[in-house]
């Protein structure tokens, strides 16, 4: 799948957005290490902290299907005025970091998109090694 196609897939995925509270429709498409593609959208909740972003939803679903690495992520915010309003939030970047994402495409409803290396979006990322945790309390 080309980068253009991945962005187009993210845009189409936004049609599934459940966002009656923010009215901010977002779609995302991700590519796994073996080239599989999954797409999803943001899903909000009456209790805002329980909401889920589009790219988080897509990554978490892909992982749950047995994948363990994501290489590319495209995010499309249909209701962003410009590309500056379409970037993944910090929480989503933390999720992307867990699974080795390399490239992130940022898009609005139409027009050009931007491509970033993941390192440009979350420098000094936090990672916890599950095998090195030692009881200290």
Q: Which residues bind its own copies (CB under 8 A)?
A: 13, 15-25, 40-54, 56-57, 59-61, 63-66, 68, 78-79, 81, 84-85, 87-95, 97-98, 116, 120-128, 130, 132-137
**Per DSSP, what are the bridge partners of residue 115?**
105
Q: How far apart are CA 51 and CA 99, in angstroms?
A: 21
Q: Which is nearer to its own copies, 2 or 20 (CB)?
A: 20
Convert 40-78 to b/e letters by CB count within 10 Å (16 or more is b).
bbbbbeeeeeebbbbbbbbbbebbeeebeebbbbbbbbb
Q: Which is nearer to its own copies, 3 or 97 (CB)?
A: 97
- Active-site positions? 55
Q: Which is nearer to its own copies, 2 or 15 (CB)?
A: 15
- Least Å distance, CB 7 to its own copies, is 17
């Amino acid at each position: 799948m080309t980068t253009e196609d991945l962005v187009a897939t993210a845009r189409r995925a936004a049609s599934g957005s459940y966002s009656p509270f923010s009215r901010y429709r977002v779609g995302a498409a991700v590519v796994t290490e073996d080239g599989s593609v999954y797409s999803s959208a943001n899903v909000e909740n009456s209790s805002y902290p329980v909401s889920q972003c589009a790219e988080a939803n897509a990554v978490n679903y892909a992982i749950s299907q047995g994948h363990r690495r994501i290489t590319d992520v495209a995010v499309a915010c249909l209701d962003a005025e410009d590309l500056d309003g379409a970037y993944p939030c910090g929480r989503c970047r933390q999720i992307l970091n867990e699974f080795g994402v390399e490239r992130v495409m940022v898009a609005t409803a139409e027009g050009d998109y931007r491509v970033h290396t993941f390192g440009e979006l979350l420098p000094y990322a936090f990672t916890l090694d599950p095998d090195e945790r030692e009881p200290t309390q």
